[in-house]
Amino acid sequence: MNLITKIAGREFESYTLNASVPRASTLDELKQIGQSDSAAIMMKSCTIKKRKGNPLPRIFKLPLGYFNSEGLPNLGYKTYLEFIPKLKKYNKPIIVSVAGFSVDEYKILVKAFQESEVDLIEINLSCPNIDNKTEPIAYNLKKTEEVLKEISYLGKKPIGLKLPPYPYYSIQQKIANLIKKYSVSFLSCVNTLGNSLIIDEIKERSVIKATRGFGGLSGQYIKPIALGNVRRFYELLKGKVSIMGMGGVKTGQDVFEFLLAGADAVQIGTAFVEEGVSCFQRINKELKSILRKKGYSSISKARGKLKIS
């Protein structure tokens, strides 16, 4: 059985790939992903200038995931542009993730990668860990449309949106309308759950220093929210826009649930950070076993087949 799937018309040899996490920052790390069973090479979200990120400590490990306020540490977009030709030899789709601090910055980033050999461009509109005063762009419909209006026609490479965990159907519906209006080709659902707080009751202090202790929650804690967002956008967009699910994907069973919800592929973050590239082979093997037991001959046969009780 193969796990071939498609994202924005690009063929992926399997259903799992890495999320844009710290282990996807350097050229060596990206080469390791290229040599692994990850279906694609997803780069760390990059900004115009190199960023060190937020003050330490900024990451805290939890039993079922992570709590972080990284603040977009990365090498800067020009360095990632230089990486692309060196990653083509792995014959996998290369996905760049970009994060701007203004409409003009998004234009610069998207234009640069439209002129590169990258395959897909993920627009990160949902990082919750920059400061405590501004909301991620994806929560603001006006700002989201301003970005889409300026970047949608800069080239022919497919663009997608990395979205936050929306709590309400009404905003999901409005975002879906913008996605259709500007021909967005794929979605990544969902980013970490921002404005969270973890307290060390013994020391009576927050577990991270950055952003006054507030950060983004990831891992299996947010899996039900991620599944809900994937399903909602699958229904709203009628399966016509590719969706990559993420949030709590640790086993083949988790992957199968995202498949039933309507995801075309899944990005793996926490398990990738903890296990390294071996997680892709393990999870793909577990998914194949589940599909066989369920009587599904391919990914497409099971996608979106969620039954409502």
Q: What is the largest CA-CA distance in the chain?
A: 54
Low-confidence stretches of the chain (pLDDT beneath 50):
none
Q: Residue for token digits 């060596």?
A: 28
Q: What is the DSSP letter of 191?
A: -
User: Nearest 5 degrees, angle CA 113-CA 115-CA 120?
Assistant: 45
Q: What is the pLDDT of residue 132?
A: 59
The CATH fold of domain 5-57+72-195+219-296: TIM Barrel (3.20.20)
Instruction: Name the one residue in this structure whose structure tokens are 């973890």.
Output: 198
Tokens (6 digits) for 146: 């301003």
The alpha helices in 132-222, defined as continuous H runs, are 141-151, 169-181
Mean pLDDT of the chain: 96
* pLDDT given for residue 184 in this prediction: 97
If we measure between CA atoms, which residue out of 249, 235, 233 comes closest to residue 184?
A: 233
Residue type, 210: A
pLDDT tens readout for residues 214-232: 999 999 999 999 999 999 9
Torsion of CA 115, 119, 120, 121, to 10 degrees: -30
Q: Are the CB atoms for 7 and 242 separated by under 8 Å?
A: yes
Residue 297: the pLDDT is 94
Q: Is residue 126 among the annotated active site residues?
A: yes
Pairwise CA distance, residues 40 & 18, whole Å: 7
pLDDT for 60 equals: 97
Residue with the two structure tokens 């309400």: 168
Indicate the domain borders of the chain. 5-57+72-195+219-296
Distance between CA 190 and CA 307 in Å, rounded? Answer: 22
pLDDT at 133: 61
The rounded distance, in Å, linking the Cα atoms of 121 and 107 is: 12
3-state secondary structure of 216: strand
- Please classify residue 160 by burial: count the beta carbons closer than 10 Å to its beta carbon, then call 0-12 exposed, 13-18 middle and 19+ buried: buried
* Residue 212, phi-psi category: left (phi > 0), alpha (psi -120 to 50), beta (remainder): left
pLDDT value for 2:
87
Q: Tell me, what's the pLDDT at 130? A: 82
**Residue 277, H or E segment:** none
Among residues 38, 116, 126, 185, the one annotated as catalytic is: 126
Q: What does the DSSP assignment read for 146-170?
A: HHHHHHTTS-SS-EEEEE-----HH
Catalytic residue among 38, 97, 127, 185: 127
Asked if the peptide bond before residue 136 counts as cis, ω within 30 degrees of 0, the response is no
* Catalytic-residue membership of 20: no
Q: Which pLDDT tens digit goes with each residue over 85-128?
A: 999 999 999 999 999 999 999 999 999 999 999 999 999 999 99
Three state DSSP letters for 42-108: ECCCECCCCECCCCCCCEEEECCEEEECCCCCECCHHHHHHHHHHHHHHCCCEEEEECCCCHHHHHH
